[in-house]
Structure 1
Amino acid sequence: MSDAPARALVVDDERMNREVIVANLRAAGFETVMAEDGVQAWGILQAHPGSFDVILLDRRMPRMNGMELLTRLKADDKLAHIPVIMQTAYAETEDVSEGIKAGAYYYLAKPLDRRLLLSVTEAAIADHQRRQRLADDLDKRTTAILLLEQGRFRFRTLEEGHTLAVALARSCPQARHLAAGLSEMFTNAVEHGNLGIDFDLKAELVAAKRWRQEIEARLDTPLGRSRSVEVLVDRHPDAIRFVIRDQGKGFDWRAYDDISPERAFATHGRGIALARRLAFTSVEYNDMGNEVTCIVTGPNPEEPAYVICAEAPAITPDRPAAEAEETRLARSMQMELLPNPQVLAEAARRLGIQVSAHFEPSSSLGGDLWGMHVIDDNRLALWLADFSGHGLGAALNTFRLHTLVAQCTPLADMPGAFLAEINRRLTGLLPQGQYAAMTYGVIDLGADAFVYAAAAMPAPLFRHAGGGMARSGVERGDGSGLPLGLTQGATYVERNMRLTAGGILVLASDGLTDNPMTDGTRLGNSGMETLLAQTETTTPNSADSVLAPFLARVKRPLRDDLTVLCATIP
């Protein structure tokens, strides 16, 4: 689990049961919220859909029982991903099978055993977090894999399998489910196939929290270093076939082909069955169990017409060519995160606001990122972020932020709350010593205002048409605020700037004021205001045009990433 404590919703109509579960979870470091029945739990979940990492759910309750609540959860897109642990005194096969079909893949029998309570809860959260990481990584990958027709890949470690699963998942529809399914199959090929870790041994390792250490130790033996997993991919117009071969002795796959009621109370052993349910049309093992063919059917309407045939080399660390390719792909992926022309056109069509940007990283990869979102016919959200550091590490953080911003869209019209939530999610997620500066604001044409919150960013500037209320014609906002990712409970002040028709709003990263120019001087904050005031009001709405005097003189290569947004108010 991450440094931030996991949060559990405990739903049980018996007060003593609730308190026992909560006491044990809190002693283990969990945050908990209690509900007395399904109705109360549903209200809590509707009010706070993104607040919980796991739900412990009693099956038999008044008003709304566990199965009714489970059905509602799985039908709600905002809640369906939360793992549910069904706790019940009725461990009948029929009851368990019904719960599994409804989406409860983890079970606890009453009376509860403290050790099993913690191990099953931790396992459910770990499985969920791994699937979420796959989904996050999937959003960051390049779409070049869509061009793949046939390929052969080879990997050895779980991390390499994770990377390959995400990459291959982009080759077909339902990519998020496919990434999870391939990852489960790849993990099985490594741990059960090549490394020979069976079900019982894994149970012991998970209970002792030594599973990861054992995997690494076995991978470092002569046998572990010599074995790899081969993956063959064959793409057809209406189906994609994946053949996965390990070099182990095989295993009895038949026992794991579905989630059985007998294993519903175990901490693991669901991977193959989940992969079959989530990702694949069919899953067929050979008799030995060291080769499996997984097929996904259904045409992809967005499939490009171009086709390549590629045989990829084995994935090995520290290959300069591989690193260069990874950087190139990461650069392409980072550019994909920026708003596309269709997004800019929507802002112009619906609100009449012309938005443009200049984005220039100081190296192949940068730590700046910007975005926009049309809230309604009167409001446009704009944001710009600047991560500490440069290169691949900073770029990876921009991928994280892009996903978080999308998850926080329900707060789009509340800049202070938006930044506070982004900060909450980034804290504990960023590597130690890293942080982000960010401005998030809403152009509200109905109120003639830019409502914004800032976290240690350069102040926003607004150039009024014809001079406006400021003597220089340029009004300066306030970019002060605690950087994101440093402390969990930070709050952010909402501020206002008055907007006037024909004026230009400018948001920039500190690369605009801090990068040296060819004569060795720096523009600085006052220089930026002067430069903006001197530009004619008839200047076309383009970051490159408005700031052309500076952009032409700045010294290259840049010392810091440079991003500028310009928005002209109708």
Structure 2
Amino acid sequence: MANIFVLEDEEIMSDLIENTLEAVGHQVVKCSTIQEAQELFEKEPTNFDALILDRNLPDGDSIDLAKELQDKSLLSKVPIIFNTNLSKPAQILEGMAVGAFWYLTKPTTPTILQALVSNAVGTYQVYRAGMEKQKLLEGMLSYLNKSEFTFHTHSEARQLAESLSLMFPDAQRALLGVTELLLNAVEHGNLSISYSEKTDGLVRGYFHQLVQERQSDPALKSRKVRVEIDKKPERTQIQIQDEGSGFDWREYLEISPERIFDPHGRGIVMSKAISFDKLEFIGKGNIVIATQERPQAAE
């Protein structure tokens, strides 16, 4: 299914991660030191779909490796999952600050690890697909300044996100955020999938089935997500509105210690921190406005 890199110096933990991921079809490449990892990345910089990093290693802290990878264009977008004994809130925030997709503390629960890796790989595949289509679409989209779209389904959200991200000043930054916000509008908005339902579905492996069942529900399948995008010389702004009952969005603007180890729930935080310069929810939370400024306008 995917190629996963594991940096872990404890042999028992390394073997546990390998067996856990190979059981669901992934291929695993392992290293036990930062130096080995650096040498491998120099030889095979495009071979991985996700990276799982321990922090306490014989030759240093992999936080430094993560920062180094951010400067390598071929690896900077590959999702990183830290898996470590360092579990203080400040250490968790340190990991998230370098762009980690997620932060786990040992001992690792196999089902959580499988769900997180699946989620990370899926996000990265959306990113890669969007970038591959960019050259085909960017010429046409350069003439589009303002438009409105409506869609219904989970798959339509992903497809539309790939195109809409190209209208932002930094398409690579925007793709993650646009994708997360459109998926949230479908899943938690129109399909009324609660946070706990998604958690259980991801951990137990039936989340996609749950989405399909809700999309077939007569009471829900006619609901639409409405998207308006407005591109101006100084910024691009997107407004997303679903037909759900809303949610308390304030809980999801920052990293929550209570949810840090769940296999989802970081989309709004990451959108705010990485993809957009401004993120604003309106009223009951079923309308969100996200803005990305052009560099010259931000200065």
Structure 2 counterpart of 1:69, from 49, 65, 68: 65
Aligned partners of 2:110 and 2:295: how far apart in 1? Answer: 48
* Paired residues of 1:237 and 1:299 also in contact (CA < 8 A): no
2:142 partner SS: helix
How many Å apart are 1:299 and its aligned residue?
6.6
How many Å apart are 1:239 and its aligned residue?
1.7
In 2 relative to 1, CA 15–204 (structure 1 residues): closer, same or farther, beyond 3 Å? Answer: same
How many Å apart are 1:103 and its aligned residue?
1.5
Corresponding residue of 1:158: 154
- Structure 2 residue 6 is the aligned partner of structure 1 residue 26: no
Aligned partners of 2:258 and 2:296: how far apart in 1? Answer: 38
Aligned partners of 2:156 and 2:16: how far apart in 1? Answer: 41
Structure 2 counterparts to residues 455-534 of structure 1, below 5 A: none
Aligned partners of 2:66 and 2:257: how far apart in 1? Answer: 18
Which of the pair has more CA radius of gyration?
1
Structure 1 counterpart of 2:134, from 121, 131, 138: 138
How many Å apart are 1:115 and its aligned residue?
2.0
1:224 partner SS: coil
In structure 1, the gaps of 5 or more residues are: 302-570
In 2 relative to 1, CA 210–15 (structure 1 residues): closer, same or farther, beyond 3 Å? Answer: closer
Give the letter for the 2:37 counterpart: A
- Structure 2 residue 187 is the aligned partner of structure 1 residue 183: no
How many Å apart are 1:13 and its aligned residue?
1.9
* Paired residues of 1:230 and 1:245 also in contact (CA < 8 A): yes
- Structure 2 residue 288 is the aligned partner of structure 1 residue 292: yes
Corresponding residue of 1:116: 112
In structure 2, the gaps of 5 or more residues are: none
Structure 2 counterpart of 1:102, from 98, 102, 105: 98
In 2 relative to 1, CA 147–32 (structure 1 residues): closer, same or farther, beyond 3 Å? Answer: same
Which consecutive segments of 4 or more residues in structure 1 shift more than 6 A?
Answer: none
TM-score of the superposition, structure 1-length normalised? 0.50
- Tell which has more relative contact order, 1 or 2 (C-alpha 8 A, sep 6+): 2
Aligned partners of 1:155 and 1:72: how far apart in 2? Answer: 39
Deviations 1:335-359 (Å, cap 9, x if unpaired)?
Answer: xxxxxxxxxxxxxxxxxxxxxxxxx
Aligned partners of 1:19 and 1:161: how far apart in 2? Answer: 37
- Structure 2 residue 267 is the aligned partner of structure 1 residue 263: no
Aligned partners of 1:79 and 1:25: how far apart in 2? Answer: 21
Corresponding residue of 2:203: 207
* Paired residues of 1:107 and 1:264 also in contact (CA < 8 A): yes
Aligned partners of 1:184 and 1:284: how far apart in 2? Answer: 14
* Paired residues of 1:25 and 1:118 also in contact (CA < 8 A): yes
Give the letter for the 1:232 counterpart: E
Aligned partners of 1:93 and 1:299: how far apart in 2? Answer: 33
- Structure 2 residue 156 is the aligned partner of structure 1 residue 148: no
- Report the aligned-residue RMSD: 2.0
- Structure 2 residue 48 is the aligned partner of structure 1 residue 78: no
In 2 relative to 1, CA 8–179 (structure 1 residues): closer, same or farther, beyond 3 Å? Answer: closer
Give the fraction of aligned pairs with identical amino acids, expressed as a percent. Answer: 31
Deviations 1:505-549 (Å, cap 9, x if unpaired)?
Answer: xxxxxxxxxxxxxxxxxxxxxxxxxxxxxxxxxxxxxxxxxxxxx
Corresponding residue of 1:279: 275
Aligned partners of 1:255 and 1:7: how far apart in 2? Answer: 34
2:57 partner SS: coil
TM-score of the superposition, structure 2-length normalised? 0.91
1:226 partner SS: coil
- The number of residue pairs the alignment matches comes to 297
Corresponding residue of 1:242: 238
* Paired residues of 1:281 and 1:297 also in contact (CA < 8 A): yes
